[in-house]
Amino acid sequence: MQAGGIKLTLGVYIALFLTFLYAPLMVLAILSFQIGPEGGPQFPIIEWSTYWYQHLFGLTPPSRIAPLPIKEALFRSLTLAVMTMIVSTVLGVSSAQAFRKRFKGQNFVFYLIVLGMMVPGVLVGLGMALVSNELSVARHWWGTAFVLHVVYTFPFAFLVMLAIFNRFDQSVEEAAWSLGVSPAKTFRKVTFPLIFPGVLSAMLFAFTLSYDEFSRTLFASGRDLTLPLAIYGTFSVEVHPNVFAFGVLTTLFSFALLSVYAILMTLSMRRAKRIAIQEDA
């Protein structure tokens, strides 16, 4: 392209763009090390300290600033995310498996599933609250909120698996069948190892989206708070740096999760490559 100049301009632009994406989180991280309890959520940093991190874990003497209710909320959020991950991955794999053959109403089913990720949480949440009112079903994070989390994450798992099955070489399975291996065993020994990277991605999507989800949870979860709801609760009151400290920790947790995913992905890729080499030889 003519355009050393344009390339340079765009290069500078992308640097600014990344700053725009990351600067708020950086500022938040810096301010989480403000001294407490008198230091506020703004500059300048009066003195560097880990007070607000200790505050999160209840290690500081009681002060006028109430601790975030994170202990039970964390347990609920993690349980909910694991439940959602398992159910939506199973649903995603089986639905995508069904899509490998054409069936009547396939287009309708496709749009029905994808709708789950498009409809805003506030709408399904409201609808679910109305339904549970009508049926006099109590709303709980492990009940009404859980089914909505699956509605949201199942489409992601489904789409990831669709993409995987699309690139899938059917002849491997057929070879197993023709050698008399049962379909169940074929799935376990042949199909599953091949689609494993997809399953891993689907699980990552489902877990993180559920762990972070709150607009669906807001109306559908009843009295017990999940982590995002606890954070949302602080929006209406004065924000203290303890929320920032929590933000840093939860971001680190997301990064840890991504790293585990990256490592598992690399390992399974390597294994696939090794098998391919063996086959060639």
Instruction: Restricting to residues 64-93, name those near other proteins by CB under 8 A.
Output: 91-92
| Binding-site member from 59, 66, 131, 175 for other proteins (CB under 8 A) | 131
CA neighbor of 139 nearest in space, from 219, 227, 214: 219
Site string for other proteins, 14-53 (x = CB under 8 A): x--xx-xxxxxx-xx--x---------xxx----------
Q: Cis omega before residue 37 (within 30°)?
A: yes
CA distance 51 to 36: 6
CA distance 244 to 276: 48
Region of 62-70, 188-196, 224-232, 271-279 interacting with other proteins (CB under 8 A): 224-232
| Binding-site member from 55, 99, 141, 203 for other proteins (CB under 8 A) | 99
- 98 versus 275: smaller Cβ distance to other proteins: 98
DSSP string, 224-264: SPPHHHHHHHHTTS---HHHHHHHHHHHHHHHHHHHHHHHH
Q: Is 34 left (phi over 0), alpha (psi -120 to 50) or beta?
A: beta
SS in 3 state form for 127-180? HHHHHHHHCCCCCCCCCHHHHHHHHHHHHHHHHHHHHHHHCCCHHHHHHHHHCC
Site string for other proteins, 146-185 (x = CB under 8 A): -xx-xx--x---xx--xx--x-------------------
Cα angle value 90/93/97 (rounded, 5°): 140
CA neighbor of 125 nearest in space, from 274, 9, 232: 232
- 258 versus 275: smaller Cβ distance to other proteins: 258
Residues 204-223 contacting other proteins, CB under 8 A: 208, 212, 214-215, 218-219
Kindly state the smallest distance separating residue 278's Cβ from other proteins, in Å.
Answer: 27
Region of 2-10, 53-61, 186-194, 269-277 interacting with other proteins (CB under 8 A): 2-10
| Binding-site member from 67, 69, 127, 222 for other proteins (CB under 8 A) | 127
| Binding-site member from 73, 80, 128, 199 for other proteins (CB under 8 A) | 128
Residue 77 CA from chain centroid, whole number: 11
Kindly state the smallest distance separating residue 274's Cβ from other proteins, in Å.
Answer: 23
Residues 229-268 contacting other proteins, CB under 8 A: 231-232, 234-236, 239, 243-244, 246-247, 250-251, 254-255, 257-258
